[in-house]
Amino acid sequence: MEDFSAIGKIFDRAGFEGRFSLSETEVYEVLKAADLNVPEYILYPAAGFNPDTAAQDAVSRLSGCKLVIKLVSSKTLHKTESGGVKIILKDTPAVAQALRAMKAAFPDAEGFMAAEFAEHSAFSLGEELMLGARSDDAFGPVITLGVGGTNAEDLTRALKEGLSPSIMPAELACNRKSWQKFLSGSWVWRYCSGSVRGGRRLAEDGEIFKWLETFTLIMKHFSDGGVSKWAVTEFEVNPLAVSNGALVALDGVLRFRAAKNNSRRLPSKKGIAGLLKPSSAAVVGVSEKKMNMARIILNNIAKAGFPKEHTYIIKAGAGEIDGVKCFASPSLLPETVDMYVVAVPSPEVPRVLAEAGDCGKVNGVVLISGGMGEKEGSEDLGRGVTAAVELARQKNPDFVLSGGNSLGIVLNEARINTLFIPEYKMAHPLGVNANMVKTAFVSQSGAFVISAESRMPWLKPAYSITVGNQQDITVADYLDTLADEEGLKVLLVYIEGFKYGDGLALADIIKRARKNGKQVVLYKAGRTVVGRKAVMGHTASIAGDYLVTKIILEAAGALVAESFDDFNDYALLACHFAGLEIKNRNTFFISNAGFEAAGMADGVKGGLCANLDDEGLKAALKKVLVDFKLDSIVDVKNPMDITPMASDGAIGEIIRKALLSPEFGGAVVAMIPLTAAMDTLPKGEGRPDDLERSFLKEAAAAAKSLKKPLVFCVASGRLYDPYCDHALALGLPVFRSADRAVKVYRKYLEYVQNF
């Protein structure tokens, strides 16, 4: 549709009356103006309403064998549950009686409506749909298709996650092909299109395409920053019934408001690039007398190896501190600074930023200071930061700010560390782990980064970036640059909320990153009302709806973690395996404990297979068992229970032969290390064990040379931490339970092979 004037007049009329929610009949007017199907209906206003006269009129004018009598009220949202909807035979006395009863039950009604009954079954899946759209600050207008009817909410909650509803940002619905993909992932449309076993097609795809495309056009026209003075905030038809092959709206809700001119000015790419690859740095807030936050940062910068001759302190009345030269003002700096770290009390921040912006010698600020917008009563300070950034850009368009409330940034290639965490509290993620791919970790929460890196000391990202409040640069802005960096294989992302338009931008960035061969592991916080309040208290973020975010970002190509443990485990696999081409999901499983072999067998489903069809491989494995005198107690099968009698030599040889076979895309190895037959403890203290004799070294080497994933599991206590550390040092991801290993590997493999 191209002419929205008729719809605009409906909004004008309601807005003039001070109403920003349309009645059901007004929603029908909107749908008719958009050339969408509604039932024949007659509206009877409450003023002068006569049930008997209305009944005669309805019976004579409306077609069909049945009529639907409805309450018209802006105060009653759930009309069916409250008795405001009746389906009756088209008989004048029966209709009159129903209207009289409804008038008595709802004396404050605004009116009553009689409509033809659209023939369909409310109890057959696929015959009642729910089509909705809503305005979202992060993603723009969002279209939803799900199960309809009076039990839509309860049924949706009862369904397995991912089945219903289907969600699409209007901005991503660019053509019929995108809608076809949307429908292919819609659980309820499978019933409507007859794609389920024993089903029959109720409506052609063209019917729903028309509704989806028209809803999208309406939402995009009546949106913030659009051409109309009105913006639709919520638009829903439920049920959208399938009647004689056509889709007909049987009820509708539409809410709107005055449109806003929302936008977000994007920070300079050059300024962001300088923060990611700085050649100079300065710190503000360093104390001469004590080891305060800024001085810890200064020392961490030096220890990371950043050139001291390009490191500066902004401090009046001091010559140098810890061997770093001081300058009274940023205007006196000998060069333009890429990374200007500010760690001063929050009341001083606007002044410090104003000086930095005015001098023209500062491109990128890392604002460590907090308490500016995320805490109740600090809104003025937050606005002061934003104003200082805007003013600075008038002089220097490349002026950007990361933070506030940032924990700092660690850049291994640039050899800089601005964390304000002392080294004795955690091993900073400095250096390179040769066994993992090049990775970037971008997080709103600094605590999330250091917690993850403390739990996973093997994790040495090229970039560890804590973004904080996103008062200028956002998580999406950083990822926009990193998505195109050659050689970078994994993006680890923690996000609490989006600035205006950032959700849609992030979806596009993730698509681009996946196209560039990168894997994206993401955790989204702020899922519930309580969770959103907690997020606001931490980073002053605008938290969006979690389900919308999850569905959209997963469709874009992110592996979305449901828990912190999931995030860490997905990161473990991605950082070790993202450089591999996993050719098939058939996996070899082996354990020396029967319960683990059985558990792994139970876990093989969905994204994993455990076939063993190669007769040559079976013979080779049988020979290994014979050679090590295990053939009388062990069978060749998958998963294989090698029993506690197996030595490292036997285990290593079986793993090597399985990995050599093209039948397997990878292997999961779970060993209970308490057996005397294996070397599972460090040499010394009178122990006969020696980790250097373990099968791990040869197995890891085989996996690396064959470029196949090998997952290792040790389900035992702290005594065997050195065993796990040894495996990690060899480049093997380690889990502490076999069922967890299989579950996470299965999910990771589904992700890799779906994109």
pLDDT band, residue 330 (cuts 50/70/90): very high
Residue of 103, 225, 238, 265 lying closest to 165 (CA atoms)? 238
Beta strands per DSSP E along 259-386: 281-284, 311-314, 320-321, 324-327, 339-342, 364-367
- The whole-number average pLDDT for the span 345-353 is 93
Contact 419, 408 (CB under 8 A): yes
Residue of 524, 295, 302, 310 lying closest to 428 (CA atoms)? 302
Instruction: Enter the tokens of residue 614.
Output: 């190669």
Instruction: Enter the tokens of residue 668.
Output: 């999961």
Distance, CA of 657 to CA of 623 (rounded, Å): 11
- Is the pLDDT at 460 greater than 50, yes or no? yes
Backbone angles phi, psi at 492, to 5 degrees: -95, 130
pLDDT band, residue 381 (cuts 50/70/90): confident
Distance, CA of 670 to CA of 676 (rounded, Å): 16
Over the chain, what is the mean pLDDT?
Answer: 91
- The whole-number average pLDDT for the span 657-664 is 96
- The whole-number average pLDDT for the span 227-236 is 94
Predicted local distance difference test score (pLDDT) of residue 43: 94
**431 against 547, higher pLDDT:** 431
Q: Cis bond leading into 639, ω under 30°?
A: yes
Side-by-side strand order, sheet with 400-403: 320-321, 324-327, 311-314, 281-284, 339-342, 364-367, 400-403
pLDDT band, residue 539 (cuts 50/70/90): very low
Contacts 24+ apart (CB under 8 A), 563-567: 564/523, 566/523, 566/744, 567/452, 567/492, 567/494, 567/521, 567/523
Contact 76, 84 (CB under 8 A): yes
Distance, CA of 33 to CA of 36 (rounded, Å): 8
Instruction: Enter the tokens of residue 692.
Output: 């250097």
- Is the pLDDT at 524 greater than 80, yes or no? yes
Angle between helices 564-577 and 738-754 (to 10 degrees): 60
Distance, CA of 462 to CA of 284 (rounded, Å): 25
Burial class, 97, CB count within 10 angstroms (exposed 0-12 / middle 13-18 / buried 19+): middle
* pLDDT tens digit sequence for 475-502: 999 999 999 999 999 999 999 999 999 9
What is the separation of C-alpha 475 from the centre of its chain, rounded to a whole number of angstroms? Answer: 12
Instruction: Enter the tokens of residue 37.
Output: 């199907």
Amino acid identity for residue 93 in this structure: P
- The whole-number average pLDDT for the span 602-610 is 84
Backbone angles phi, psi at 741, to 5 degrees: -60, -45
Side-chain half-sphere of 709: how many Cα atoms within 13 Å? Answer: 31
Distance, CA of 134 to CA of 139 (rounded, Å): 10
Separation of first and last alpha carbons in the chain: 35
Amino acid identity for residue 703 in this structure: A
Distance, CA of 633 to CA of 625 (rounded, Å): 9
Contact 598, 738 (CB under 8 A): no
Angle between helices 475-482 and 502-515 (to 10 degrees): 20
Q: How many CB atoms within 10 Å of residue 335?
A: 11
Distance, CA of 631 to CA of 636 (rounded, Å): 9
Instruction: Enter the tokens of residue 507.
Output: 């979806």
Task: Specify the DSSP element, H or E, that contains 524.
Answer: strand 519-524
Distance, CA of 359 to CA of 330 (rounded, Å): 6
Amino acid identity for residue 455 in this structure: R
- The whole-number average pLDDT for the span 332-336 is 97
Residue of 633, 729, 642 lying closest to 682 (CA atoms)? 729
Could you give the residue ranges of the DSSP H alpha helices within 457-501?
475-482
Backbone angles phi, psi at 561, to 5 degrees: -85, 140
Backbone angles phi, psi at 592, to 5 degrees: -100, 15
- The whole-number average pLDDT for the span 679-708 is 95
Predicted local distance difference test score (pLDDT) of residue 339: 98
Distance, CA of 124 to CA of 142 (rounded, Å): 27
Residue of 256, 226, 243, 216 lying closest to 131 (CA atoms)? 216
- Is the pLDDT at 540 greater than 60, yes or no? no
Percent of the chain with pLDDT over 90: 78
pLDDT band, residue 305 (cuts 50/70/90): very high
- Is the pLDDT at 695 greater than 90, yes or no? yes
User: Any residues with CB less than 8 A from the CB of 451 and at least 6 apart, and which?
Assistant: none
DSSP state letter for 597: H
Predicted local distance difference test score (pLDDT) of residue 195: 87
Distance, CA of 595 to CA of 126 (rounded, Å): 44
Distance, CA of 529 to CA of 672 (rounded, Å): 43
Contact 418, 303 (CB under 8 A): no
Distance, CA of 695 to CA of 658 (rounded, Å): 14
Contact 752, 582 (CB under 8 A): yes
- Is the pLDDT at 671 greater than 90, yes or no? yes
Distance, CA of 230 to CA of 321 (rounded, Å): 59
Distance, CA of 23 to CA of 14 (rounded, Å): 9
Instruction: Enter the tokens of residue 255.
Output: 């809410």
Burial class, 77, CB count within 10 angstroms (exposed 0-12 / middle 13-18 / buried 19+): exposed
Residue found by looking up tokens 């560890």 in the block: 464
Q: How many CB atoms within 10 Å of residue 5?
A: 8
pLDDT band, residue 157 (cuts 50/70/90): low
Residue found by looking up tokens 């539409």 in the block: 254
**401-405, 446-450, 684-688: segment of lowest average pLDDT:** 684-688
Q: How many CB atoms within 10 Å of residue 697?
A: 17
Contact 280, 361 (CB under 8 A): no
pLDDT band, residue 77 (cuts 50/70/90): low
Amino acid identity for residue 98 in this structure: A
- The whole-number average pLDDT for the span 533-550 is 53
pLDDT band, residue 603 (cuts 50/70/90): confident
* CA 387 to each of CA 288, 341, 377, 475, 604: distance values in angstroms, whole numbers, following the listed order: 31, 19, 17, 20, 56
The DSSP bridge pattern shows strands 281-284 and 339-342 to be parallel
Contact 241, 128 (CB under 8 A): yes
The most confident of 19-28, 98-107, 506-515, by mean pLDDT: 506-515
| Gyration radius (Cα) of the chain, Å | 32
- Is the pLDDT at 154 greater than 80, yes or no? no
* CA 350 to each of CA 295, 359, 367, 389: distance values in angstroms, whole numbers, following the listed order: 21, 14, 11, 9
Contact 637, 708 (CB under 8 A): no
Q: What domains does the chain contain, in order, with CATH numbers?
A: 40-117 (3.30.1490.20), 128-258 (3.30.470.20), 269-577 (3.40.50.261), 587-754 (3.40.50.261)
**122-131, 267-276, 474-483: segment of lowest average pLDDT:** 122-131
Distance, CA of 269 to CA of 618 (rounded, Å): 57
Beta strands per DSSP E along 25-65: 41-45
Predicted local distance difference test score (pLDDT) of residue 527: 67
Residue 643 DSSP SS3: coil
Distance, CA of 591 to CA of 680 (rounded, Å): 14
- Is the pLDDT at 80 greater than 80, yes or no? no
Beta strands per DSSP E along 397-489: 400-403, 409-411, 416-417, 439-443, 463-466
- The whole-number average pLDDT for the span 198-220 is 93
